[in-house]
Amino acid sequence: MSDGGLKPKAVVLLSGGLDSTTCLALAIEQGFSTYTLAFDYGQRHDRELEMAAWQAQAQGSLEHIVVSLDMRKIGRSALTADIEVPKHEEQGIPATYVPARNAVFLSLGLAWAEVLRAPNLFIGVNQVDFSGYPDCRKDFIEAFERMANLATRMGTEGERVRIHTPLLELDKAEIVRSASRLGVDLAQTHTCYDPSPEGLSCGTCPSCRLRLKGFEEAQVQDPIPYESNPL
């Protein structure tokens, strides 16, 4: 018998990567019935979205939706407009670059949360590995939460909207350990920025390196295959 009706509802942003997949497992562990939301914003590879759908089903998300969002016109301005390209993207703006991304993704999550009347919203940000990103920091999350309560009917009608960030203070090794403890199948996650045409992770991009280092520190075997593994 399902007890889904008795549990508080939460919307979980789920990209199909290691962090958001672990975030989903932590939301479920905390007793929420979960609704998962992925974004199709012109990623170069479908593998992330496939992994998101796989994890949603495997972990028991009550509903999984993919919202299409064409950010190319916004992004293209960066290449044509008279602005300095940020230093951390010296190798060119990746196809996955989304300015103000967590504000955009959380707002769309908030829209769905409002429809579902689910005042809990989970996002797998962490400020340990991404301390340079303003929208991965606690003060951004707190400001978003405050805004969310004023932006919605549920917030202004007495339900408190909460943004949950269970990974906020975890490093990658702690995330890997949390996922292992909860039995998450990390073979079904995707992290690589630049996979081969067959979908094999490169092992050398910044995202792969961070992942591999996390598994190594956690002393857990990364179950996904790599083209090369520098560690």
Q: Which residues bind a second copy (CB under 8 A)?
A: 63, 65-71, 73-75, 77-78, 81, 83-84, 86, 98-104, 106-108, 110-117, 134-135, 137, 139-140, 143-144, 146-148, 150-153, 155-156
CB of 194 to a second copy, least distance (A): 23
Select 88 or 91, whichever has its Cβ closest to a second copy: 88
CB of 216 to a second copy, least distance (A): 31
Select 73 or 90, whichever has its Cβ closest to a second copy: 73
Select 9 or 209, whichever has its Cβ closest to a second copy: 9
Measure the CA–CA gap between 192 and 206, rounded to whole angstroms: 8
Region for residue 61 given its phi and psi (left: phi exceeds 0; alpha: psi -120 to 50; beta: otherwise): beta
CB of 143 to a second copy, least distance (A): 4
CB of 83 to a second copy, least distance (A): 5
CB-CB contact of 82 with 134 (8 Å) = no
* Burial (0-12, 13-18, 19+ Cβ within 10 Å), 73: exposed
Measure the CA–CA gap between 184 and 126, rounded to whole angstroms: 19
Select 60 or 86, whichever has its Cβ closest to a second copy: 86
Nearest residue to 34 (alpha-carbon basis) of 148, 121, 157, 126: 121
Select 114 or 222, whichever has its Cβ closest to a second copy: 114
Which amino acid does the sequence have at 188?
Answer: Q
